[in-house]
A and B are shown apart, each in its own frame.
Chain A
Amino acid sequence: MMDNLSLLVQVPVLNIQLLLDGIFVGSIFALAAYGLALVWGVMNVKNLAQGDFVIMGGYIAWWLSIDVNIWIGMPAFNFDFLWISALHISTTAIPFLEFMKPAIHPIFGLPVAVVVMFGFGWFIYITIISRVIGKDMFTSLLATFGLALVISQLLNLAFGPEVQVAESGFEVNSFFDGMVTVANIRFISLILAGLLAAMVITFMKFSRMGQAIRATAQDPRAAKVMGIDTERIYAFTFALNAAICGAAGALISMIWVIQPFFGIAHSIRSFVIVTAAGLGNLPGVIIAGLGLGVAELYSGFVFGAELQQFTVVGLLVAILVWRQIQQSRHRQPVQ
């Protein structure tokens, strides 16, 4: 551990590499966290499936970027588990139609992920979230935890537990005599993340729908009286959140790795960022997101990879404790 620390001091260029990489992944964390803050602020639902939405978006972009057989036909005559054999494309199956899906570059997979996740988010809202929305807060937490379990396991069944990367095929640039290497895709992803964030913020500020969402967040009853269909606003907000997650996932699949069970870590990252920044604090979310990315890479470098996950959860606990100390100063006995 001390070796790594002294290495950082002796070779300051390494800091640049860590900082840059931290900012690249951190921008995506901030994007997902913004979605969480949106849903949290508007409908008071804490979405523990946030990270799984991200991973799902990643898998959509990844799946589109590889050549795979699209297979339509009768599953194997294994009637006890028809659907299972359909997923693991069985050899004894009878194909009606079989063709190769063309590979789409993951950057073009991103809009597809956004659209698919938007629909998925709407579906999840109607089936699950709309039923837990008014109930106590633990209910939404637990229901989305169940959802997270279902999504990650389905992804695992469909794509297997291997770590995947969507190959974008861009060049890798080196600076400082090869001490710092940055793939072009990382710059592109940073720009895309910024663009997406700007789009969402503009949408929230200026469009009719964005105004309605903000009005509902302020006071759902008053919004209803003013003729806003709050139920539709909630559905749209949740779907928008899923779409943002889909975009974040597509970016993550290009510059980092995806794996079915990485979702919970992404959820916790989003919670860390939102808790640190506070609700409705957009600059805070961006700074906290970038900070978390940098902190995670630094700790991964200094303490070793096995403690990188710990940094995220450890930071969560630390921030919660710190918030508590901060709050207790405001807590005064009734005179």
Chain B
Amino acid sequence: MTFKQKQLALYGILAVAGIAAPFVFPAYTFQITVMWVMILFAVTWDIMGGQMGYNSLGNIFFFGAGMYTCAIVQIGLYYDVAQYTASYGAIKVDFTPEQYFTGLVLGIIAAALVCVVFAVILAHVVFGLRGPYFAIGTLGVTLSAGELTGAWEYVGGGGGIALPVFPGEPDDRALMFYFMGFGLAVATFLFVKWMFSGRFGLAANAIRDDEEKAEGMGIRTMRVKTTGFAVAAFFLGMSGAVFGNMIGFIEPLEVAFPSVTFGIFMVIMCLLGGKGTLWGPVIGATLFHAFKEVTWTYMLGWQWVMLGGLIIVLVVFFQQGVLGWMQEKWPELFGIEVDEGAIATALAGPEIDERPHRGEAAQ
């Protein structure tokens, strides 16, 4: 089999596994859905963080913005949002199946579009910042978004909003959200793969390597960065909309703008898998989520300490990630050709001219 065929076979197996998973493990549908969302997080973070060298700590902002936009659209189509949130439980809220699905679909679309608009606006604010300032600036944006939403009475403030209830069986609901999450993750992956296979990928990597030179070579860096940010925002916004509906209740600090949980998870997952690669984030997210789901409940309050320790260890000792490590170990698996001759020459050191030179002989 050629490399291409192997790749196709791999995609086929993964797709079948993804479709079959909720039927094979019906008890874990929710966890697997979250895993797909995690993969989406990691892949979208990698657009900016890995490929373009803009390490954002605030990408989760779009997740929350999408979540809230979707909620407002879903409720606002049929009710007064302020009334709905203020008198939660007092007025009878009833969504017919038709209303529910229209609201959901429109909400997801609105979430994606609003997030793109946010991304374009934010791009002008944060992209002048470099290095750590960028990371801290984006973190600041997300933290302030969370605090502001918490003080915004229209959307229920810190109390949050309960989203419309799914009209149907719980099993159908779980399956629907599973396939939404799965579809989104696959779409994100394929889109990013397509995007980075062309000119855009080269431009992004040029920006990562040396932004000034890239600009000098005629790359419109601002446009490339904004596009990358907007693509990440587009998918993150949709994932937020789906995730919010899956949870059923959204709240600003823990669910919508969780900068110390999901916001930092996406960075760790990329680092774990190997940032700046296509499959690294996917592998990292899968490993991290599986590890977290298995060990979290056994750690009795120590999970956060462990998480912090994991970040430190990853950052200090294992920067290249799983995929980077594999690429170093077995380069031929990845189609990387290692020029043995060049390495041998490099190891042997430069040719040394041992003849005495004029002027040096006297010393």
Q: How far is the CA of A157 from the CA of B302 in the complex (A)?
A: 8
Whether B305 and A84, one on each chain, are in contact in the complex, defined by CB atoms closer than 8 angstroms, is no
CB distance from A262 to the nearest CB of B (A): 13
Contact among A139, A310, A321, A324 for B147, CB-based, below 8 A: A310
B132 at the A/B interface (Cβ < 8 Å)?
A: yes
A304 at the A/B interface (Cβ < 8 Å)?
A: yes
Residues of A within 8 A of B55 (CB): 138, 141-142
Q: How many contacting A-B pairs (Cβ < 8 A)?
A: 117
B12 at the A/B interface (Cβ < 8 Å)?
A: no
CB distance from A121 to the nearest CB of B (A): 16
Q: If A268-B143, A317-B144 touch, does A149 touch B150 (CB 8 Å cutoff)? A: no
Count, chain A residues at interface, CB 8 A: 44
Residues of A within 8 A of B305 (CB): 149-150, 153-154, 157
Interface residues of B in 11-65 (CB under 8 A from A): 55, 57
Q: How far is the CA of A151 from the CA of B308 in the complex (A)?
A: 9
CB distance from A198 to the nearest CB of B (A): 30
Count, chain B residues at interface, CB 8 A: 41
Contact among B126, B132, B150 for A138, CB-based, below 8 A: B132
Q: If A138-B132, A153-B304 touch, does A143 touch B311 (CB 8 Å cutoff)? A: yes
Q: How far is the CA of A81 from the CA of B304 in the complex (A)?
A: 16
Q: How far is the CA of A309 from the CA of B308 in the complex (A)?
A: 23
CB distance from B44 to the nearest CB of A (A): 18
Residues of A within 8 A of B137 (CB): 316-317, 320
Residues of B within 8 A of A143 (CB): 311-312, 315-316
Q: CB-defined interface of B261-301 with A at 8 Å, one 1/0 digit per residue?
A: 00010010001000000000000000000000000000011
Whether A320 and B148, one on each chain, are in contact in the complex, defined by CB atoms closer than 8 angstroms, is no
A132 at the A/B interface (Cβ < 8 Å)?
A: yes
B307 at the A/B interface (Cβ < 8 Å)?
A: yes
Whether B133 and A307, one on each chain, are in contact in the complex, defined by CB atoms closer than 8 angstroms, is no
Contact among A132, A153, A303, A321 for B316, CB-based, below 8 A: A132
Residues of B within 8 A of A139 (CB): 315-316, 319
B77 at the A/B interface (Cβ < 8 Å)?
A: no
Q: Point out residues on B near A: beta carbons under 8 Å.
A: 55, 57, 125-126, 128-129, 131-133, 135-137, 140-141, 143-144, 147-148, 150-151, 157-158, 260, 264, 267, 271, 300-302, 304-305, 307-312, 315-317, 319
The 5 A-B pairs of least Cβ separation, nearest first, read A146-B311, A149-B308, A150-B308, A310-B147, A324-B128
CB pairs A–B below 8 angstroms (28 shown):
A81-B300, A84-B302, A128-B316, A131-B316, A135-B319, A139-B319, A140-B132, A141-B135, A145-B264, A146-B309, A147-B308, A149-B307, A150-B305, A150-B309, A268-B143, A306-B151, A307-B148, A307-B151, A310-B151, A313-B140, A313-B144, A316-B137, A317-B137, A320-B136, A321-B125, A324-B129, A327-B128, A328-B128
